[in-house]
Amino acid sequence: MIDALRLMAWLSPGYPVGAYAYSHGLEGAVESGDVFGEASLRAWLGDVLEQGSGRNDLILAAHAHGTALVEDSAALADLNDLALALAPSRELHLETSQQGRSFLDATLAAWPTPALARLAEALPGPVAYPVMVGLAAGAHGMALPPTLAAFGLAFLQNLVSAALRCAPIGQSAGTRVIAALTPRVVALAAGVPDLTLDDLGSATLRLDLGSFRHETQYSRIFRS
């Protein structure tokens, strides 16, 4: 029970990681006309989840969980460097590194455990958000499958929340999008433990290019 509640706390909108400030390219997609309603949002998020950073983040979180279980600081540092290098734009690098550092600091302060404190010493600089979530879960001895499923759903929910603020959809539409994509989150999370780092990769080029354009977008409310 405590593990489930801990996950709910870590991945809730109230956890101080600043997730509300980032749209992960969604604001740029709205500006360019790629996302213009419920159906296009569902399609866009499905691609990001299964063919983009959603899938990559779950793979990274799973491997970070593994490094925590054996307390392999060197492998953790290498994994974090890889995760940061995968960010295709300045804004997406800022998004993952700012949330990662905030998550690590908040978790060390509120949910301390010796293993996490020791492993954190190997990460003095920028840290990637999915690596930190997987690391913290592993350091606390939490099971991997529910951690991945919860993290995937939180990723999706945060983007729907961003859509409510920048896209022409309402709360009912946003709720339907989450309901429609939740089974795909479950399926993705179930398959990730069998994947290696060689399986990392994405095919969301319009998101990546839109993220570059967002850096100079005239009017915006999000940092990415």
Question: Tens of pLDDT along the chain (224 residues)?
Answer: 899 999 999 999 999 999 989 999 999 999 999 999 999 999 999 999 999 999 999 999 999 999 999 999 999 999 999 999 999 999 999 999 999 999 999 999 999 999 999 999 999 999 999 999 999 999 999 999 999 999 999 999 999 999 999 888 999 999 999 999 999 999 999 999 999 999 999 999 999 988 888 888 877 788 88
Q: How many domains does the chain have?
A: 1
In a domain, 29, yes or no: yes
> Which residues span the domain enclosing 79?
25-214
Looking at every residue in the chain, the average pLDDT score rounds to 95
Q: Which pLDDT score, from 0 to 100, does residue 216 have?
A: 85
Q: In this structure, what CATH number is given to the domain that contains residue 65?
A: 1.10.4190.10
In a domain, 156, yes or no: yes
CB 148 within 8 A of CB 13: no
Q: Report d(CA 81, CA 84) in Å as an integer.
A: 5
In a domain, 18, yes or no: no
In a domain, 130, yes or no: yes
Q: Report d(CA 89, CA 95) in Å as an integer.
A: 10
- Pseudo-torsion of CA 102, 107, 109, 110, nearest 10°? 130
Per residue in 14-61, pLDDT (tens digit) is 999 999 899 999 999 999 999 999 999 999 999 999 999 999 999 999
In a domain, 5, yes or no: no
Q: Which two tokens stand for residue 66?
A: 């593994």
In a domain, 121, yes or no: yes
Q: Which two tokens stand for residue 200?
A: 């990392």
In a domain, 20, yes or no: no
In a domain, 114, yes or no: yes
